[in-house]
């Protein structure tokens, strides 16, 4: 019988990263975050997992995590520390305390001695502040007896219908070798586009939908079938009531276009890079962020629902988001796509199960 591998998820949010590990057969024993509603979502979707609401700046939090594991052997610590300090979209400050949160991973690794660590973050972490954070992660891996292979992954290359680039540091105990990243499963000609990702969901044109809805169309793509497996209902698919003015502005944006395609004087309240962006049906979506006001459905004159954003992040339809709509959008946008987590987890299993 195959050994059940275990994982802990730090800075878990709602648990997209570790949900992929769960799909790959890992036992996710614990999710740790400092946002209550995200942890409630985590618990609702991770079978038998505990959650801890902790501030990972504090060393006392590490002790609480160690106690919560109750001497269970932990094979992997996965972590997606807050990225605002490294993000190109935020105010960059070298002394932002969030820039050092990755150190919590190593403090915990010192106590639990897992076989592997995975740290995910925005590409900016590699080069900002002369690469200080990257170099410190590599130094700590060496100090704690891990090989480390960082790599930028482009989500569409692995079947995620969303333009999202993130760096993953995968560290293995030295005796297990150096982690080789899995080959991509898709190329530009086979990327999953928005229509193949969300085209089977109810339109929400004449009504805003309900908390729980039945599908009103058959799936037309393999991706839709994959997202629908395990449930007969859709949740978190509630529309947004726009003003006539906003609907009118959206209607002028062509498929795949943005604010640059609007007539002069129209939509002037928002004219930055991502403003008034309409998705293209045949291409992956733009990066899903924590808001929902700048991107629009490829066909309908409205913002995507939480469920549509979740689909574009590769959350299956049986993954339920708790909280109000704003909190749900934030949870989806902050997540690591589960499909990326699953791909990495399946590759990692080859090292952890063949360690002898």
Instruction: Read off the pLDDT of residues 165-178 as tens digits, 9 standing for 90 and up.
Output: 999 999 999 999 99
Residue 342 sits in the same domain as residue 302: no
CATH of the domain at 227: 3.90.120.10
Please check whether residue 34 lies inside any domain of the structure: yes
Phi, psi angles (nearest 5°) of residue 93: -140, 115
More confident residue, 41 or 270: 41
Residue 183 sits in the same domain as residue 206: no
87 pLDDT tier (thresholds 50, 70, 90) = very low
- CA dist list (Å): 19 to 23, 26, 79, 271: 6, 9, 13, 36
pTM for this entry: 0.93
Residue 75 sits in the same domain as residue 155: yes
The string of DSSP codes covering 197-258 is HHTTS---SSS---SEEE--S---SHHHHHHHTT-SEEES-------HHHHHHHHTSPTT--
Residue 310 sits in the same domain as residue 344: no
Residue 156 sits in the same domain as residue 70: yes
First to last CA, the chain: 16
Kindly list the strands in the beta sheet with 146-154, ordered across the sheet, starting from the edge strand earlier in the chain: 50-53, 27-33, 6-10, 76-79, 116-121, 165-173, 146-154
Residue 282 sits in the same domain as residue 269: yes
- In this predicted structure, the answer to whether residue 333 has a pLDDT above a threshold of 50 is yes
Please check whether residue 15 lies inside any domain of the structure: yes
Mean pLDDT (whole number) for 63-68? 96
Q: Give strand pairing partners of 214.
A: 233
List of residues 6+ apart from 320 with CB closer than 8 A: 41, 44, 45, 235, 236
Mean pLDDT (the chain) is 91
Active site residues: 83
Mean pLDDT (whole number) for 131-136? 87
| Alpha carbon 244 to its chain's center | 33
Mean pLDDT (whole number) for 325-336? 96
Domain around 62: 6-187+335-352
- In this predicted structure, the answer to whether residue 4 has a pLDDT above a threshold of 50 is yes
Please check whether residue 178 lies inside any domain of the structure: yes
Residue 231 sits in the same domain as residue 141: no
Please check whether residue 126 lies inside any domain of the structure: yes
Residue 245 sits in the same domain as residue 144: no
354 pLDDT tier (thresholds 50, 70, 90) = confident
User: How confident is the model at residue 131, as a pLDDT?
Assistant: 83
Residue 251 sits in the same domain as residue 340: no
Please check whether residue 1 lies inside any domain of the structure: no
CATH of the domain at 64: 3.40.50.150
Mean pLDDT (whole number) for 204-232? 92
- Number of domains making up the chain: 2
Q: In whole angstroms, what is the distance from residue 289 CA to residue 335 CA?
A: 9
Residue 206 sits in the same domain as residue 70: no
Residue 297 sits in the same domain as residue 322: yes
List of residues 6+ apart from 190 with CB closer than 8 A: none
Residue 253 sits in the same domain as residue 281: yes
Contact 213/238 with Cβ under 8 angstroms? Answer: no
Q: In whole angstroms, what is the distance from residue 251 CA to residue 229 CA?
A: 33
Q: Which residue in 130, 129, 77, 133 sits closest to 100, CA to CA? A: 133
- CA dist list (Å): 287 to 134, 210, 221, 250, 332: 23, 26, 21, 19, 11
98 pLDDT tier (thresholds 50, 70, 90) = very low
Q: In whole angstroms, what is the distance from residue 333 CA to residue 320 CA?
A: 14
What is residue 7's DSSP assignment?
Answer: E
- In this predicted structure, the answer to whether residue 275 has a pLDDT above a threshold of 90 is no
């Amino acid at each position: 019988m195959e050994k059940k591998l275990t994982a802990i998820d730090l800075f878990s949010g709602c648990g997209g990263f570790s949900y992929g590990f769960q799909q790959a057969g890992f036992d996710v024993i614990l999710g740790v975050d400092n946002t209550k509603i995200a942890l409630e979502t985590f618990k609702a979707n991770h079978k038998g997992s505990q959650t801890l609401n902790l501030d990972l700046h504090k060393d006392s939090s590490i002790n609480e995590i160690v106690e919560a594991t109750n001497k269970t052997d932990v094979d992997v610590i996965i972590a997606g520390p807050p990225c605002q300090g490294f993000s190109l979209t935020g105010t960059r400050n070298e002394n932002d305390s969030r820039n050092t949160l990755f150190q919590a991973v190593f403090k915990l690794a010192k106590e639990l001695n897992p076989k592997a660590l995975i740290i995910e973050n925005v590409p900016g972490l590699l080069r900002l502040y002369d690469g200080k954070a990257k170099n410190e992660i590599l130094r700590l891996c060496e100090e704690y007896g891990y090989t480390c292979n960082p790599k930028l992954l482009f989500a569409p290359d692995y079947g995620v219908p969303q333009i999202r680039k993130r760096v993953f540091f995968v560290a293995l105990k030295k005796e297990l070798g150096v982690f080789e990243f899995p080959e991509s499963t898709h190329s530009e000609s086979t990327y999953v586009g928005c229509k193949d990702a969300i085209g089977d969901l109810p339109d929400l044109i004449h009504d805003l939908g309900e908390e729980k809805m039945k599908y009103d169309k058959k799936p037309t793509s393999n991706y839709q079938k994959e997202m629908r497996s395990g449930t007969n209902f859709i949740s978190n698919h509630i529309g947004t009531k726009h003003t006539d003015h906003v609907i009118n502005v959206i209607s002028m944006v062509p498929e795949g276009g943005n604010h640059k395609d609007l007539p002069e004087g129209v939509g002037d309240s928002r004219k930055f890079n991502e403003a008034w962006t309409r998705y293209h049906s045949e291409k992956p979506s733009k990066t899903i962020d924590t808001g929902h006001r700048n991107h629009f459905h490829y066909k309908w004159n409205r913002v995507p629902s939480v469920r549509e954003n979740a689909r574009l992040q590769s959350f299956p339809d049986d993954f339920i988001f708790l909280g109000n709509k704003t909190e749900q959008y934030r949870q989806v946008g902050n997540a690591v796509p589960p499909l990326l987590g699953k791909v990495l987890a399946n590759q990692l299993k080859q090292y952890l199960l063949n360690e002898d």
